[in-house]
Amino acid sequence: MYTPEIAPLADSLLWSSLVALLPLLTIFVTLGFLKWKAHWAGLAAVIVALIVAIFVYGMPVGLAGLSASQGFAFGLFPIMWIVITAIWLYELTVKSGHFEDLRLVINVISDDPRVQAILVAFCFGGLLEALAGFGAPVAITGVMLIAVGFTAMRAAVVVLVANTAPVAFGAIAIPIITAGNLTGIDYKGIGAMVGHQTPLLAAVVPLFLIFLVDGKRGLRQLWPLALVVGIVFGAAQFVSANYLSVEMTDIIASLMGLAAAVIMLQFWKPVGGQDALDKMADERSREKASAPDAGGAAAAVATSVDTKAAPLTGKRVFMALFPYLIVIVIFSGAKLIPVIDKWLASTDVKIPWPGLDGNIMTAAGELSTSTVYNFQWLSSPGTMLLASGIIVAIVYKMTAKDAVQVFVDNVVKMRFSILTVGLVLALAYVMNLSGQTITIGTWIAGTGALFAFLSPILGWLGTAVTGSDTSANALFATLQQTAATKAGIDPVLLVAANSSGGVVGKMISPQNLTIAATAVGLLGQEASIFRRVIWWSLGMLVVMCLLVGLQSTVLSWMVPGGA
């Protein structure tokens, strides 16, 4: 039986925390500065985490290795299962010849790539986050942006930055519900508080996206549309989280944001679209000339579409959109119809991890429940995407042999991505079960009243490590609650801050970086993507820290029920 110590090194929380940070520093340094490939960075971080767990925390070698094995398994299923099936669905549309029509369909709304970034990455990505989460929005919107002419790198950065505001309410608000279950606080109260935080980010994210696509010129020319969509999305988040439904928040916000964009474009046309298209064409030419064959999704996409082709018919429009329509239908039915949702959940198989379950205690002295592996063979978003792909293959009249071959080729192409995500989750499990993560969290929580300003950092850290806001809440929600009580701060505020801080950490998670790189065909270039998004992540984290800190003091009126 292993019970982690919070301060194993010289009984010092500071020194123990600094050592516990070594695995994270390893992965950030190897990715961000040494420019290692992601799977080597992940492997190095796992080795460092195992060394710290065994020699500093005194975790038995066998238990440390089993922790890594469970994390690796979780990385394969359900995480990579979701990504594999999401990209397979896309590859089916390419193989069938329908994917090129998608660009023409999106161009019907607007051929301006800056507008397309808002519509696809922010609005449609938010809807996918609401229904699926766990990397699927990044994978699917990434290849959609490639289809409309984005370069691979720009597409990856745009979708990662866009996948922020909706994360806390993602997968039918699973992160918030998880925090409520662990703390005993009504999840609706936590959701309402998050609804007083993330909408402020949502209001400005579309501005960030047009800046990423077209710089200052884009901001000058498209700020009215970006602000309208962002404010409508954020306002819908606030209203739904506080007065309608926490679970439906992102669905309502995404659809309202999309509707606002479409309606505004009927009355207002941005200028400079052709200049942005020309800029993107030049970038594609340079990228094609300099980039090696990455073998990823982008390699299969034609970066130009014959605009003189036969005009779009109703049937062609429907067939181009069909894969995404069927995804929405299947996920909506599975998540929003209680009978189906409950039945799917009942099919999950709980597997006590052999040799690990029953032998790990938490730092609080309770038996760890993290050693039970949940095999979601039917309820996983990946299985729903598989079903969507089978239906798409049938409707597209593809042979079973072709569909299976596309799947197999996809898995082979993604082998290093699969390895990377498995290693990242192995790292997370070793750090969590050995006590390294809780050491870092306890150290940060020991700052007293100042902790209100720092509390989002825990959520950011947890999501950066695990790639999941749900996992970040599982790690730190109770710690936030305890620290808030000791500091005389409303626990609801800090538990919500954990989730809100996590949303800006997702873009730098090695797991999500690998998903984005794989989707757009930049496998092995995760370090380059990381260097482009880290400053956006840190900047938004600082804003969230300031907001939460002020909400604990002069802006206490923003806390539901606060004075």
Query: In sequence order, what DSSP letters do the residues of 386-432 get, joined into one string?
Result: HHHHHHHHHHTT--HHHHHHHHHHHHHHTHHHHHHHHHHHHHHHHHH
For residues 114 and 438, the model is more confident at 114
pLDDT at 325 over 80: yes
pLDDT at 295 over 60: no
pLDDT level of residue 301 (50, 70, 90 thresholds): very low
**Torsions phi, psi of 376, nearest 5?**
-90, 65
In contact, 158 and 184? CB cutoff 8 Å = no
% residues pLDDT > 70 (the chain): 95
Q: Which tens digits make up the pLDDT trace of 212-226?
A: 999 999 999 999 999
Beta-strand pair 372-375/349-352: antiparallel
In contact, 81 and 382? CB cutoff 8 Å = yes
Q: Evaluate if pTM is beyond 0.85.
A: no
Cis peptide before 270, with omega less than 30 degrees from 0? no
For residues 302 and 532, the model is more confident at 532
Burial class (CB in 10 A: 0-12, 13-18, 19+), 359: middle
Least reliable range by pLDDT among 3-17, 308-322, 388-402 = 308-322
pLDDT for res 562: 52
Q: Which tens digits make up the pLDDT trace of 423-450?
A: 888 888 898 899 888 888 788 778 777 8
pLDDT for res 333: 87
For residues 422 and 226, the model is more confident at 226
Residue with tokens 């959701």: 191
Q: What six digits make up the tokens of 518?
A: 């794989």
pLDDT for res 77: 86
pLDDT at 360 over 80: yes
Amino acid at 353: W
Beta bridge partners of 352: 372
For the segment 454-481, the average pLDDT, to the nearest whole number, is: 83
pLDDT for res 61: 96
pLDDT level of residue 486 (50, 70, 90 thresholds): confident
Beta bridge partners of 374: 350
pLDDT for res 305: 43
pLDDT at 79 over 80: no
Mean pLDDT over the full length of the chain: 86
pLDDT for res 288: 74
pLDDT for res 122: 94
Q: Which long-range contacts (CB under 8 A, 24 or more apart) does 229-232 make?
A: 229/118, 229/122, 229/123, 229/257, 229/260, 229/261, 229/264, 230/202, 230/203, 230/204, 230/205, 230/206, 230/257, 231/203, 232/256, 232/257, 232/260
pLDDT for res 78: 80
pLDDT at 414 over 90: no
| CB contact set of 356 (below 8 Å; sequence gap of 6+) | 63, 66, 67, 70, 371, 433
For 206, half-sphere exposure in the C-beta direction (CA atoms, 13 angstrom radius) is: 33
Least reliable range by pLDDT among 58-62, 63-67, 184-188, 284-288 = 284-288
In contact, 499 and 187? CB cutoff 8 Å = no
**Torsions phi, psi of 367, nearest 5?**
-65, 130
In contact, 498 and 480? CB cutoff 8 Å = yes
For residues 60 and 301, the model is more confident at 60
Helix (H, G, I), strand (E, B) or coil at 524: coil
pLDDT at 492 over 90: yes
Phi-psi region of 291 (alpha: psi -120 to 50; beta: other; left: phi over 0): beta
| CB contact set of 551 (below 8 Å; sequence gap of 6+) | 196, 197, 452, 493, 558, 559
pLDDT for res 538: 95
In contact, 427 and 42? CB cutoff 8 Å = yes
pLDDT at 296 over 50: no
For the segment 384-403, the average pLDDT, to the nearest whole number, is: 93
Q: What is the distance between the alpha carbons of residues 408 and 342, in angstroms, rounded to a whole number?
A: 32
pLDDT for res 140: 86
pLDDT for res 425: 81
pLDDT at 172 over 90: no
